[in-house]
Amino acid sequence: MAWMAAAVLLMINSAASPAQEQTPFSLSVVPGFEIPLGPRMAASADKPPYSIGYSAGLVGEYKLPFSSILLARGAIDYCLLPVVNGETVETADLSLVSFGLGTGVSFSPIERVTVKASAMGGYYVGVIGGQTGGNLFLSAGAGMSYRVLPALNVGLEATYKYYLTPSSADASLPRHLYDGISAQIGATYNIGVGSRRSKV
């Protein structure tokens, strides 16, 4: 595909550029696919009541000054999950908007490659069929990225997400509204790197 060829050429060209100091702040855009794991429901033949969905997130990270690997992170995430009734996808979708804070580790095993692992918790608001509710959520994930430009990394990440059932929901419902794995591809902008000049 044309975009893949362009990405490879960009990586090769950037490999010849001199390394630059990384800043502690970064901002990532992470679209992805949502793969439902639960909850198991009798109404959907004991399968998760959702089909594969979509998500998009905005993640900010700050490398803590007292550690070479620890970081703090905050995120805003949106998920859209089509509802399944048996073998039929209904017209109603479940929308989840979440706001979270967390921590993680980040290190570079080889030049230009960064490996990360993180955990996060926060609050979400869900909307389905005109009904709205919210509760706490938890997530944990890991990923790897490659620095294609001094200020830009691209990478892959897998994240497990767990959303508690809204506190206002019927007590007969499962304890959690949704859990699943998000497969994401993202771009990270290292804030301030592009504006710096190399020292002679």
Q: Would you write out the chain's pLDDT as a tens digit for each of its 200 residues?
A: 443 334 433 433 443 344 445 679 999 999 999 999 988 654 555 677 898 999 999 999 999 999 999 999 999 999 999 988 765 556 679 999 999 999 999 999 999 999 999 999 999 999 988 889 999 999 999 999 999 999 999 999 999 999 999 977 776 677 889 999 999 999 999 998 755 444 43
The highest-level CATH class for domain 23-190 is: mainly beta
Number of H helices, E strands in the chain: 1, 8
Task: Give the C-alpha separation, 21 to 14, whole Å.
Answer: 15
Backbone angle region of 86, left / alpha / beta, with phi > 0 → left and psi within -120 to 50 → alpha? left
DSSP string, 179-200: EEEEEEEEEEEETTSTT-----
Could you tell me the pTM of the whole model? 0.81
137-159 burial code (b ≥16 CB/10 A, e <16): bbbbbebebebbbbbbbbbebeb
Q: Are 150 and 20 in contact (CB under 8 A)?
A: yes
- Domain ranges across the chain: 23-190
Q: Which DSSP state fits 43? A: G
